[in-house]
Structure 1
């Protein structure tokens, strides 16, 4: 699904975020991205949904050279990818239902299908009963569940999560991880950047450690491996 060959990223200010990264991620994998702050994790994640492009090297998503996509082609790429952020990024003036439905409306989904798909994912994240609530009426964990629902309502083949439990208490973080496990069990590829050692060590999946812009460790069912 994802193949990186000799990928480097150098920003205009001279900072090298990634250095000659070689990597393959297959369809249906669950991959943790770990490493110290400033190691290059965010750049790595942003490259997957073309927020950033490589300075050099080849980055393929399903055989498509992502770095060479024209701007008009990027929306089509992103329809295949669900992105979940630490700070939820919900639209405060829209209800739970409307926040999730919006992701379908912008891609021109048929109205008859929107309600069906929205209620399906709200059921998956166990918030169907909150469809008429607004984001400020929800807890942090509930808001993150809605952001997950919005990210997967298009049924993407890849879900990218950047510190999805970073703003949540430990109990809520575990609940959120159960949602990700269910998404993974349904065959979706999950790539998650996290500093949560306990989650990585208990919910064992492939671990990629990035340090100094390089992948310094790649382990199946790996451990976190850093002091926090």
Structure 2
């Protein structure tokens, strides 16, 4: 599913963010990526959806080599991925329905399919009754649920979440995590970068810890392993 082989990433200013990482994530896994600030977590995650390109090494998702992929093919790669950000990245001038539908319009889905699928995923994230609301009319947790709906509307094989609970209170964070767990149980591979110690320690999924640009731990039912 997702494989990195001896991956390095050095930025133009000389900072080495990733230092010879090799890892394999199987289809259907739920993986937490943890580590101190500045350890290389964000770069690790961003390389999975080609926001960042490795300096050297191989990254493959479903057999496609991201390191060698031409820029014009990157949008097609992301059509089979869902990406959830800490700051939601919703379009403020569009309704909840339109924000989610936009991801299907990009791939030229039919209006009938868009209507049916969007309402289906809004039901999954428990926002079907707010389809016509604007983003500013929603709470932070509701906005994050909209971003999750947008990320899964095209039934991606992989969902990548970069600190999806970082701006949320603990109760709302758990709501988001239960939704991500449900999505994972439907067969989607989930990779989530997080600093949330309580969630990692309670949900006990695979944990990949990154320190100094290297994998320091890789545990099947891991713990967060750092102080709050």
Q: TM-score per shorter chain, which class? A: over 0.9
CA distance in 1, matches of 2:175, 2:223: 20
Which whole-Å deviations, capped at 9, do the CAs of 1:4-26 have from their partners, x for residues lacking one?
Answer: 11000001110000000010000
Runs of 5+ consecutive residues of structure 1 not aligned to the other structure: none
Counterpart-to-counterpart distance in 2, 1:111 and 1:71: 29
DSSP-derived class of the 1:68 partner:
coil
Structural mapping, 1:64-213, within 5 Å: 64-213=64-213
TM-score (norm 2): 0.99
Runs (5+) with no aligned partner, structure 2: none
In structure 2, the residue corresponding to 1:166 is in which secondary structure? coil
**Where does structure 1 differ by over 3 angstroms across 4 or more consecutive aligned residues?**
none
Q: Secondary structure at the match of 2:46?
A: helix
- Give the whole-Å Cα distance in 2 for the aligned partners of 1:227 and 1:6: 29
Which residue pairs with 1:33 in the alignment?
Answer: 33
Q: Give the Å deviation of 1:71.
A: 1.1
| SS at structure 2 position matched to 1:59 | strand
Q: CA deviation at 1:171?
A: 0.5
Q: CA–CA distance in 2 between the matches of 1:64 and 1:157?
A: 13
Q: CA RMSD in A?
A: 0.5
How far off is 1:107 after superposition?
1.3
Distance 2:112 2:129 in 1: 21
Local SS of the residue matching 1:7: strand
Q: Normalising by structure 1, report the TM-score.
A: 0.99
| 1:35, distance to aligned residue in structure 2 (A) | 0.2
Q: In the comparison of the two structures, how many residue pairs are matched?
A: 228
Give the whole-Å Cα distance in 1 for the aligned partners of 2:3 and 2:165: 27
